[in-house]
Amino acid sequence: MKNRVVQLLFVFAIAAILLIVLNKSIISLYTLIGILLPITIIGISFVIFIENRSPQSTLAWFLILAILPVIGVLLYLLFGRSRWRRKKHLQRSEEKRMIFREILEGRSFNLDISSSLNERSTYLTQIIQKFGGGPVANETSTKLLTNGNETFSEILQAIENATHHIHIQYYIYRSDEIGTAIRDTLIRKAKSGVIVRFLYDGLGSNKLRRSFLQPMKDAGIEVVEFDSILSPWLLETVNYRNHRKIVIVDGTIGFTGGLNVGDEYLGRSKKFPIWRDSHLKIAGKAISKLQAIFLEDFLYATSSLNMESWHQFMDSTYFPSQGIHQAEGAVQIVASGPSSDDTNIRNALLKIMSSAKKSIWIATPYFIPDQETLTLLRLSALSGVDVRILYPGKGDSIISDQASQSYFTPLLKAGVSIYRVKEAFMHAKIVLVDDEVASIGTANMDIRSFELNYEIIAILYESTTVLDIKNDFEQDFKESTEITWASFQKRSMQKRMLESLTRLISPLL
């Protein structure tokens, strides 16, 4: 009902403008706009008010509508609508929902809580599963991949060794040197008989052209776009993007983390000659959850497949049960998005961080926390926990960078240490707690990743990879400049005003 109010107002405005074009004698265009615009703004404000959004988001929208009314209306129609509208859109097919449940809850999963985990880790895995996370998987090995050269080398090698299927999904996939190299490898494997499915986000990869994609289709690769920006459903989907990065080979090896596919991730960008990033290689039982998440996304984006054709994915070819018996620790995959019942990833991270007794180390390229996250970090630091945030030395967005820095003052006052990586764009998304539990994945420490994007993280418990993550953090801290409270207080008044202004709209970023 409340969203129909805005739709009806918008349709009425378009109809009235068309009426003017057909009969200019009725009323002037400017007069009509002067009448309709306030009505539309009042209608939108009413919808925002009764949706009970966070106070920060509500006030931000009211501010934009008051200061920039025309732009504010357009922004709301594209980006401001409640994420629950997206859930309704996602569930428009009952048949697909049944398949989702069959994939996610089917007999394919044979995951067990590792008895070797200590009491604290076991408790966290159980709580996070209640929060919407997947079951914890033992017999799973992981490997930290640092930066682009190591990551793409491992991914290309895994693709080369594929014998049955390759599933690949990215938010950003570029048609540059590394993108072409991976594409050509996929084409070669497809021609050799390997099943290849390629899923890309319609906004993040909007520069992919038919000339780049057609050779894959000609080779038999299933190429699917997730929510095209040219879709008639644009108003429902444009603000809710699939930010996941997933590669799965033969159902036994998988990859996820911070890196998309593009030459900039190899440090080949003039703007960012130093690109610091982290990815994760996974092998063993945890791949079952990763596979199910990919298939859910692929099934949603593929409208031509019928229910019967998806039963093929329920056998051991796609969900093999074998694990890595010598692997230490355990892995838990958590996914969330605008169609989730709750902010699963954000809740899981809050639970992990709230368990900290010694340290919380965070690496994120964008830091726009909600109030609960900000409060938790402040209270943790005030209670003596070593809270550190690793942040880019060079940002890729002035607005996001300034908005992020607007949160530094209360954190620095509470004793949080903030480090900026020198001359580098630090793009890794990692949380490390007490050198025992770590999260690595696609989600930034910001409201967009928590609420608006489809994201995925892998939580590692008592794994040697956790120590590798700690070693990377320590090396990054050595190559960074710490922001002190004294130095941060010396910034100019113009910069403070810019931070304050961007903070007002930060819930919308």
Which positions are annotated as active-site residues? 243, 245, 250, 427, 429, 434
394's CB contacts (< 8 A; 6+ apart) are: 271, 272, 423, 424, 425
Beta strands in 126-264, from DSSP E residues, in sequence order? 140-146, 165-170, 195-201, 222-226, 246-249, 253-257
Phi-psi region of 477 (alpha: psi -120 to 50; beta: other; left: phi over 0): alpha
Angle at 429 between CA 428 and CA 433, to 5 degrees: 120
CA dihedral 370, 376, 381, 383 (to 10 degrees): 160
Closest by alpha carbon to 186, among 218, 226, 216?
216
Beta strands in 285-423, from DSSP E residues, in sequence order? 330-336, 359-363, 367-368, 386-391, 417-421
Are 449 and 443 a contacting pair, CB within 8 Å? yes
Are 498 and 403 a contacting pair, CB within 8 Å? no
Closest by alpha carbon to 508, among 93, 52, 80, 124?
80
Distance CA 387, CA 419 (A): 11
Distance CA 364, CA 446 (A): 9
**Backbone φ, ψ for residue 150 (5° rounding):** -70, -40
Residue type, 36: L
- The kind and range of the H/E element at 480 are strand 480-483
122's CB contacts (< 8 A; 6+ apart) are: 113
Structure tokens at 245: 């990065």
Angle at 466 between CA 444 and CA 354, to 5 degrees: 60
Are 288 and 108 a contacting pair, CB within 8 Å? yes
Distance CA 146, CA 283 (A): 17
